[in-house]
Amino acid sequence: MSENKYFGSVPNAGKTDVKYDVVICGVGGQGAILASDILGRAAVAEGRAVQAAETHGMAQRGGSVENHVRIGSAYGSLIPKGGADLMIALEPAEAVRYAHLMKNGGVIIVNTEPVYPFTVTTGKAEYPDVDEMIEALSVSFSVKAFNASAAAKEAGGEQAANVVLIGAASHFIPLQEQTVIDCIKALVPPKFLEVNLKAFDSGKQSVSK
């Protein structure tokens, strides 16, 4: 076939030789946007094309959120079903909710600390057993499950669970570790930097490739 030449300004978007699709999911307020910002910014710093999609607005009020980061993509920002290489799940039930986006054999890095929705606290719905969820995810995916919230607390702030998971993901994502750390430095307020660097390191130690 003759090459469909790309239109508009996309040819300058960056390198597309390595393609890696990451889905980041969790609960509004857990820091999914910061996590995707760190990866997106790192990809740009390494000269790679990147397209991302975020959940804003209504869904942020404690609702389920899904962010897509497509490293090396010169096309759309939405990861096709069954296309994601890696998932960063800030909450275990949300990992299950978005598992359909994952490639067979893909890596799921999941925080095992549940956040109960009000449908559960008010008794309208049941929250599934965390171990059962991890087991079910492990059938087709390489699951790295640990309590990132506890690790973040130990590092000095529970809010840094997102960065703990980024640390764990750094084994798999085709970006230089130093680039990712530089982006954390650029994005996190100075007074929380030490906590976040500790959190990154803790996440990295929690998981092996």
Partner 1 sequence: MTKEYMLGNAAIARGIREAGVGVVSGYPGTPSSEIVDILRAQKDRDYYLEWSVNEKVAVEVAIGAAFAGARSIVTMKHVGLNVAADPLMTVCFAGTKGGLIILAADDPSFHSSQNEQDTRRYAQFAQIPCFDPATLQDAKDMIAYAFDFSERFETPVLFRPTTRISHGKSSIELGEIKPNANQADFVKDPSRMVMMPNFARPRHTASIERQKPMAEDLEKSPWNVLELCDDSEIGVISSGIASVYAKEALHALGINASFLKITAYPMPDNLILTLLRKCAKVLIVEELEPVVEEHVRILAQQNQITTEIIGKNPVPRVNELNFEICRDVMASVFTEQADSPARTVSNPPILPNIALPPRPPALCIGCSHRSAFQVIKEVFGKNAIFPSDIGCYTLGIHSGAVDTTICMGASISIASGIAHSGEKKAICCTIGDSTFLHTGVNSLMNAVYNNAKMTVAILDNRITAMTGHQPNPNTGSTAVGVDSLPVSLETICAAVGTRFIRAVDAYDYEALKIAFREAKNFDGVSVVIVQQACAIVARKAGVRRNPFAVLPEKCKGCRKCVNFGCPAIGFDKKDAVAVVNSQCIGCGVCAQICPFDAICEVKK
Which residue number, 15 or 171, has a Cβ lying nearer to partner 1? Answer: 15
Q: Pick from 30, 87, 110, 117 the residue near partner 1 by CB under 8 A.
A: 117
Shortest gap between Cβ of 172 and partner 1 (angstroms)? 17
Q: Which of residues 125-184 bind partner 1 (CB under 8 A)?
A: 125-128, 132-133, 136-137, 139-141
Cα angle 175, 82, 61 (rounded to 5 degrees) comes to 80
**Residues 16 and 169 sit within 8 Å (Cβ to Cβ):** no
Binding-residue total with partner 1 (CB under 8 A): 73
Which residue number, 74 or 204, has a Cβ lying nearer to partner 1? Answer: 74
Q: Which of residues 28-87 bind partner 1 (CB under 8 A)?
A: 28, 36-37, 40-41, 43-44, 49-64, 75-78, 80-82
Alpha helices by DSSP H, listed for the chain, are 32-45, 92-97, 118-121, 130-138, 148-155, 161-169, 177-187, 193-206
* 3-state SS assignment for residue 199: helix
